[in-house]
Structure 1
Amino acid sequence: MSSDGEILDCLIIGGGPAGLTAALYLARLRRRFLVVDSGTPRAAWIPTSHNIPVFANGISGKDILARQRENLDQYGPCVEAGMVTGLRRQPDRFIAVVEGKDGGSRQIAASRVLLATGSVDIEPDLPDLPNAVQRGLIRYCPICDGYESRDRKVAVIGYGDHGMGEAIFIARTYSDDVTLLTLGQRLKLSPEQQAKLDEHGIKVMEDPVESLDMEDDRIAAVHVNGEGHRFDVLYSALGLKYRSDLALSLGAEHDPTGSLMVDHHCETSVKGLYAAGDIVRGIDQIVVGMGHAALAAIHIHNHCELPTEDEPGGA
């Protein structure tokens, strides 16, 4: 049970764009729910997004979150700061262990759970520059802001299929001057892969970055093999670490990277456990995550009075 003995209709874990969208829907559907927010949404790193349809001049990630919280506040308090450190399933409910900001802990019971815990970008290993992505010195989403980098000199930090894929995406979409920086990782290219890089004029630098030149709080140049190379924009394509441990502990189906597989209602393979946002296998975009959240919230509302599969009469 929750501390007050109530079983919630839904516990939302994560207070980013997806989690707050689900909360808005459930608030307006008059459901009993709570958002537990650790306060570390990936969206907060976004300097400016131009892919949110109603903001013609772009909007920062922090502003998106602030506007969502302000909108949600009109329906009453429903967001609690904390970290869900454990989640277990009983026949008719989920039990979450929540560690509060004050160091205390409590248990929350809910009929359904929506995971919107997102992911974290793997930071590049650059000399004397930790957390470059989080600090906004390196971009991580060419779908979001590649248009603003069109016809500029772009470097992509990455290797393997993902790094090559992002470099090719940028080269065929936005710029004819793209360099792939592998940070010392040697590429083992097939003739077909090399031909693809050559087709798009992508240069490859496989040696480590030795030092950086900073100008006005931006990376102006990288030094490789004693030579400086200046770029207008740097993108990281090192992949993501998905915050899916809670779902995996319950046996939810996932791909090799840890992102979750869901059905067309955004329900995982664990009955009553839903997922929305970056944690779901597919495209990592704010509007996609909001769409996940809307689908999940409506399905949760429509099935709140129905038993889960382990209950009598469950599907």
Structure 2
Amino acid sequence: MAQETADVIVIGGGPAGLSAALNLVRARRRTLVIDSNRPRNAATLLARGFLTRDGVSPLELRKLGRDEVERYDEGDVAFAVVDAVRPLDGRGFRVTARGVRGAADIDVVATAVVIASGLSESLPAIPSLRAYYGTHLHSCVECDGYEKSDAALALIGESDDLAERALLLSQWSSDLVVFTNGVGAITADDEARLVGRGVVVERRRIDDVEGERGVMTGIRLQDGTVVERVGGFVRPVWTPALDFADGLGLERDAEGLIVVDAKGRTSVPGMYAAGDSTPPGPQQLIVAAGAGAVVAATVNRDLIGQSIAEAASVLAAPSQ
């Protein structure tokens, strides 16, 4: 496998990564996007709130983005899983990746790396939950709340921010039951606030999600009680997809997200990050895309600065 070169490697082909790549190729930077093609929102049928693309399939949105990047001579997209990112002596990085879907393995060297690999998620251990995930049950209130307006909704989660999420969701429906599954922490003060908004708190453990012919009808508790619900939201546990970055010395926050400055620079010179891999974590698609554009502008300016500095160094060196 021959080693290739690029100006920038973008790890992750979601809205953040593809937006960064599009702006980089338009700055005439040779850019390779490496994407595992396993998006976190693959179960979601429609993406909402993305200007000019409201209601588009998330998979179609990614395909449109890949096509736009590859329309430029400087842009390329490869389906692969990144194994490692290694700093090179002096400047730059070597990235190796295993091809997926029959694609070739990758060994490429670049001056800069943009991490936009996003998050992996785990859901509460409820047997039929995934059967309704992406259709009747969702994770992003801001993304899908409007479509659930005035419906009998469930909010299922085991996290300590359920009260906050429930208060937000009550903007769209006054018929809301919060299911803690016997785990999620809701204080007495939180419950009082929720009751004031007409929200019911159900602390019993869940047995399963019920439905008929693919249509959700309720939440069955372990004691046999069925609470009729037609849809709702789940609070997943998100984990940064950053195994390849171990050993790089990237500064992380308490959740393992990559700490960046206002322009997307990480603690490692030459490495940048955008999207869900950075605080505050999960973001609406359009927000992630905007972050990718900001990072692209930063990378381009930094590379120009490096070129100027290197040229100045050469001119200042004594002649032999």
Give the alignment of 1:1-315 within 5 angstroms.
4=2, 6-55=4-53, 58-76=55-73, 78-90=76-88, 91-101=90-100, 105-130=105-130, 133=133, 136-171=135-170, 173-185=171-183, 187=185, 189=187, 191-224=188-221, 225-282=223-280, 284-307=283-306
CA contact (8 A) 1:13 1:35 kept: yes
Q: Does the residue aligned with 2:161 lie in a helix, a strand or coil?
A: helix
- 1:158 deviation in Å? 1.1
Q: Does the residue aligned with 1:161 lie in a helix, a strand or coil?
A: coil
- 1:42 deviation in Å? 2.1
Q: 1:253 to 1:46 in 2, by over 3 A?
A: same
Q: Does the residue aligned with 1:292 lie in a helix, a strand or coil?
A: helix
- 1:67 deviation in Å? 1.7
Unaligned runs of 5+ in 1: none
CA contact (8 A) 1:307 1:313 kept: no
1:167-218 per-residue CA deviation (whole Å, 9 max, x = no partner) reads 12111x11112111122316462x4323222222221222222233222323
- 1:106 deviation in Å? 4.3
Q: Does the residue aligned with 1:117 lie in a helix, a strand or coil?
A: coil
Q: 1:130 to 1:154 in 2, by over 3 A?
A: closer
Measure the CA separation in 2 of the matches of 1:154 and 1:6. 51
- 1:235 deviation in Å? 0.5
1:268-315 per-residue CA deviation (whole Å, 9 max, x = no partner) reads 11111111111111261111111111111111112224449xx9999x
Measure the CA separation in 2 of the matches of 1:312 and 1:126. 60
CA contact (8 A) 2:3 2:107 kept: no
Tell me the TM-score normalised to structure 2 length.
0.86
What is the count of residue pairs matched by the alignment?
306
CA contact (8 A) 1:278 1:285 kept: no
Q: Does the residue aligned with 1:36 lie in a helix, a strand or coil?
A: strand
Q: 1:188 to 1:32 in 2, by over 3 A?
A: closer
Tell me the TM-score normalised to structure 1 length.
0.87
Q: Does the residue aligned with 2:125 lie in a helix, a strand or coil?
A: coil
For 1:203, give the aligned amino acid. Answer: V
Q: Does the residue aligned with 2:42 lie in a helix, a strand or coil?
A: helix
1:77-116 per-residue CA deviation (whole Å, 9 max, x = no partner) reads 6011111111122330112121123597443211110011
Q: Report which of the two structures shows the higher radius of gyration computed on alpha carbons.
A: 2
Measure the CA separation in 2 of the matches of 1:115 and 1:195. 42
For 2:213, give the aligned amino acid. Answer: D
For 1:74, give the aligned amino acid. Answer: R
Q: 1:68 to 1:116 in 2, by over 3 A?
A: same
- 1:143 deviation in Å? 0.2
Unaligned runs of 5+ in 2: 314-320
For 1:121, give the aligned amino acid. Answer: E
Q: 1:28 to 1:104 in 2, by over 3 A?
A: closer
